């Protein structure tokens, strides 16, 4: 008896075997099997330790940022409101990945797979957008300081935040909606630790050209345009900084951008490396692809609170006060 691949349709995995060309027996199921890290199965328990540590740091650090900004009146400003949005985005992003990832070698319900896929990609889009808004904040603060409080008043900040949320939802919602309509007859095994859009697309037995083109459109709209707007903002910032009369003034002014620049690098560089590895690293081992892809998702939520905690004096002072209960 020859075993053939699994089949799925609208969330049902249908494993089948054929004794001859005219006889087919179907058994209903509704799970995808996440394979973990192919080739490193024996090391899964050890690999889970740094991932768990990264998650713990991300949770503790981002909640600390939210608490400090809430408690410290001097931090009630657009820059820190955007930082809180970034912290919330990082919390949801890491939580949508890590708890299930740490169980490695599990099955995931089809609907749960689509929900996880939506949350991962949606909050990646939101995080990219929030980094753009933080670049806008730095641009207004440095290039038009007298208009900063009116240009980025609280209602404007709230509208910008809502726009970033809606952008993420609207751009990513077609992913699970289309994926739910496809038939799947290749396999129900995903060689990864979590459900990603491209992994689900590869399992579909339908014409996926439309969603592939749409994915490129989303990539251009998010990574391409966001990086372009950030580059434009910092071009204007650098022009304003270099027009200052003294070296100390230039360093002090540009120093207010250091935390944001580090967050940009932490978000875009691992993601770009993962993308290039996937697109052009044909001879790279599969487990390396999986590890790089997951690290690129987990590094920013872990690093962002550390970056802002180390490089922002107001946050440092409040944290010292919390631990020492003394005035700074």
pLDDT > 80? residue 41: no
Share of the chain above pLDDT 70, in %: 80
Average pLDDT over residues 52-66: 88
- DSSP result, 30-91: -EEEE--STT-GGGHHHHHHHHHHHHHHHHHHHHHHHHHHHH-GGG-SHHHHHHHHHHHHHH
- Do the Cβ atoms of 100 and 31 come closer than 8 Å? no
Tell me which residue of 114, 127, 28 sits closest to 83, measured CA to CA.
Answer: 127
pLDDT > 60? residue 16: no
Average pLDDT over residues 136-157: 91
Give residue-wise pLDDT tens across range 284-317: 777 777 778 778 888 888 889 888 887 777 787 7
pLDDT > 60? residue 3: no
CA distance 269 to 253: 25
pLDDT > 80? residue 43: no
Average pLDDT over residues 164-186: 89
Of 92-106, 117-131, 140-154, 225-239, the range with the lowest mean pLDDT is 92-106
Q: How many residues are given for the chain?
A: 328
Q: What is the mean pLDDT of the chain?
A: 80
pLDDT > 90? residue 73: no
CA distance 106 to 51: 17
The residue among 322 and 167 whose pLDDT is bigger is: 167
pLDDT computed for residue 89 by the predictor: 93
Residue 33 phi, psi dihedral angles, 5° rounding: -105, 115
CB atoms near residue 50 (< 10 Å)? 11
The pairing of strands 12-14 and 7-9 is: antiparallel
The pairing of strands 183-184 and 7-9 is: antiparallel
Average pLDDT over residues 4-24: 38
Give residue-wise pLDDT tens across range 189-226: 777 777 888 888 888 888 888 888 898 899 888 888 99
The pairing of strands 23-26 and 31-34 is: unpaired
Enter the DSSP assignment of 182.
S
pLDDT computed for residue 84 by the predictor: 92
Instruction: Please report which helix (H) or strand (E) contains residue 107, including its range.
Output: strand 106-109
Taking CB atoms within 8 Å and a gap of at least 24, the contacts of 247-253 are: 253/142
Q: Which residues pair with 20 in a beta bridge?
A: 23
CA distance 126 to 91: 12
Give residue-wise pLDDT tens across range 109-140: 788 888 888 998 999 999 999 999 999 999 99
pLDDT computed for residue 105 by the predictor: 52
pLDDT computed for residue 21 by the predictor: 36
- Do the Cβ atoms of 277 and 289 come closer than 8 Å? yes
pLDDT computed for residue 20 by the predictor: 38
pLDDT > 90? residue 245: no
Token pair of 236 as six digits = 């204007």
The residue among 11 and 254 whose pLDDT is bigger is: 254
Q: Which residues pair with 183 in a beta bridge?
A: 9
In the chain, the largest separation of any two C-alpha atoms, in whole Å, equals: 84
Sign of CA dihedral 103, 105, 108, 114: positive
């Amino acid at each position: 008896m020859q075993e053939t691949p699994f089949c799925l349709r609208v969330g049902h995995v249908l494993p089948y075997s054929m004794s001859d060309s005219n006889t087919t027996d179907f058994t209903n199921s509704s799970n995808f099997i996440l394979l973990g890290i192919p080739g490193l199965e024996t090391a899964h328990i050890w690999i889970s330790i740094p991932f768990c540590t990264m998650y713990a740091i991300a949770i503790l650090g981002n909640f600390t940022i939210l608490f400090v900004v809430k408690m410290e009146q001097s931090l009630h400003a657009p820059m820190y409101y955007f930082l809180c949005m970034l912290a919330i985005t990082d919390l949801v992003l890491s939580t949508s990945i890590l708890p299930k990832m740490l169980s490695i070698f599990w099955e995931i319900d089809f609907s749960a797979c689509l929900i996880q896929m939506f949350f991962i990609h949606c909050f990646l889009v939101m995080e990219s957008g929030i980094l753009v808004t933080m670049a806008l904040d730095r641009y207004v603060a440095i290039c038009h300081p007298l208009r900063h409080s009116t240009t980025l008043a609280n209602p404007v900040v709230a509208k910008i935040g809502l726009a970033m949320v809606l952008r993420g939802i609207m751009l990513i919602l077609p992913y699970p909606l289309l994926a739910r309509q496809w038939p799947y007859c290749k396999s129900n095994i995903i060689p990864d630790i979590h459900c990603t859009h491209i992994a689900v697309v590869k399992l579909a037995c339908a014409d996926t050209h439309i969603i592939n083109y749409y994915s490129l459109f989303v990539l251009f709209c998010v990574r391409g345009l966001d990086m372009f707007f950030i580059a434009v903002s910092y071009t204007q910032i650098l022009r304003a900084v270099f027009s200052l009369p003294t070296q100390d003034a230039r360093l002090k002014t540009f120093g207010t951008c250091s935390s944001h620049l580090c967050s940009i690098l932490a978000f875009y560089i691992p993601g770009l490396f993962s993308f290039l590895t996937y697109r052009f690293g044909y001879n790279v081992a599969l487990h390396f692809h999986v590890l790089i892809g997951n690290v690129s998702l987990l590094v920013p939520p872990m690093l962002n609170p550390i970056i802002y905690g180390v490089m922002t004096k107001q946050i440092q002072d409040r944290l010292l006060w919390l631990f020492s209960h003394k005035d700074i």
